[in-house]
């Protein structure tokens, strides 16, 4: 990826350092690419990440939520700290000025609510746009419930990640780039076996579950 601002060497060095420490650093790297373009466009002749640049970048955009704003500011703040560690000058936004994110209060589903959710997924019917949707939905939502997998982890499973002999799912490159194994109940395993017979009889072991991705795209978009 090509960077164009005066601060490009520091951005590249900072990203390389993060990845050398074992972080994937993909989403934050994308934010820093946008910051690089921002600096090139608005401050092409500045040689120091001063307060004016950082304050301008920190300006809240229309309809921007606190969590989105914080996600946009955090990697730039870390970049400034990296530059200061190199013995150079940069303005580090005080932590107290970072937007506060409202505390998340999870919803605990009752047994009645869970029954209603699964009843609705079981009513999913054949769809011309996504022919296998009625196979995907009942299994996918039960898989989330039974294993506690993150949405992205379940969506990105490969055929070979599901061991139908042992009833164990292997999650590859999860949070912090770690792997973990998740045993499933006999009832869930029976559903996975049926799903494999209906959808993946001829799939290669290392194939992505593109059928599930397409079906979920329709529901979650």
pLDDT digits (tens, 9 = 90+) for 127-180: 888 888 899 999 999 999 999 999 888 888 888 999 999 999 999 877 766 789
What does the alpha-carbon distance between residue 169 and residue 147 come to, in Å, rounded to a whole number? 9
Other beta carbons less than 10 A from residue 132's beta carbon: 19
| Residues 210 and 144 both lie in one domain | yes
| Residues 72 and 116 both lie in one domain | no
Domain holding 174: CATH number?
A: 1.10.443.10
Residue 72, helix vs strand vs coil: helix
- Please say if the pLDDT value at position 211 is more than 70: no
| Residues 14 and 74 both lie in one domain | yes
Range of the domain at 161: 111-220
Residue 138, helix vs strand vs coil: helix
Q: Is residue 104 part of a domain?
A: no
Last residue of a domain, one of 66, 97, 128: 97
- Please say if the pLDDT value at position 213 is more than 70: no
| Residues 60 and 145 both lie in one domain | no
Q: Is residue 136 part of a domain?
A: yes
Q: What is the mean pLDDT of residues 70-90?
A: 96
Give me the pLDDT at residue 99, please.
72
What does the alpha-carbon distance between residue 10 and residue 13 come to, in Å, rounded to a whole number? 5
Q: What is the pLDDT of residues 41-63, one digit of tens each?
A: 999 999 999 999 999 999 988 88
pLDDT band at 6, cuts 50/70/90? very high
Q: Which residue has the higher pLDDT, 22 or 75?
A: 75
Reading the block at residue 182, the tokens are: 């998740």
Number of domains in the chain: 2
Give me the pLDDT at residue 209, please.
64
Number of DSSP helices (H) and strands (E) in the chain, helices first: 9, 3
- Please say if the pLDDT value at position 94 is more than 80: yes
Q: Is residue 207 part of a domain?
A: yes
Q: Is residue 102 part of a domain?
A: no
Q: Which residue has the higher pLDDT, 23 or 97?
A: 23
pLDDT band at 22, cuts 50/70/90? confident
| Residues 90 and 120 both lie in one domain | no
pLDDT band at 217, cuts 50/70/90? low
Q: Is residue 177 part of a domain?
A: yes
Reading the block at residue 158, the tokens are: 């490969």
| Residues 193 and 119 both lie in one domain | yes
Give me the pLDDT at residue 214, please.
59
Give me the pLDDT at residue 126, please.
87
| Residues 36 and 68 both lie in one domain | yes
Q: pTM for the whole thing?
A: 0.59
């Amino acid at each position: 990826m090509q960077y164009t601002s005066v601060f490009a060497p520091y951005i590249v060095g900072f990203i390389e350092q993060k990845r050398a420490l074992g972080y994937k650093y993909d989403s934050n790297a994308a934010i820093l690419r946008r910051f690089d373009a921002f600096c090139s466009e608005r401050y092409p002749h500045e040689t120091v990440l001063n307060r004016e640049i950082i304050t301008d970048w920190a300006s809240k955009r229309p309809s921007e939520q606190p969590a989105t704003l914080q996600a946009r500011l955090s990697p730039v703040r870390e970049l400034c700290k990296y530059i200061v560690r190199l013995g150079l000058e940069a303005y580090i936004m005080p932590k107290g000025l970072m937007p506060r994110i409202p505390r998340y209060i999870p919803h605990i589903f009752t047994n009645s609510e869970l029954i209603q959710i699964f009843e609705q997924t079981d009513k999913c019917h054949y769809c011309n746009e996504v022919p296998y949707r009625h196979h995907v939905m009942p299994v996918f939502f039960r898989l989330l419930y039974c294993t506690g997998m993150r949405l992205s982890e379940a969506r990105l499973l490969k055929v070979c990640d599901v061991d139908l002999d042992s009833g164990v799912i292997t999650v590859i490159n999860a949070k912090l780039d770690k792997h973990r194994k998740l045993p499933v109940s006999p009832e869930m395993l029976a559903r996975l076996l049926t799903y494999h017979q209906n959808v993946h009889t001829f799939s290669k072991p290392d194939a992505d579950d593109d059928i599930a991705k397409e079906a979920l795209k329709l529901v979650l978009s």
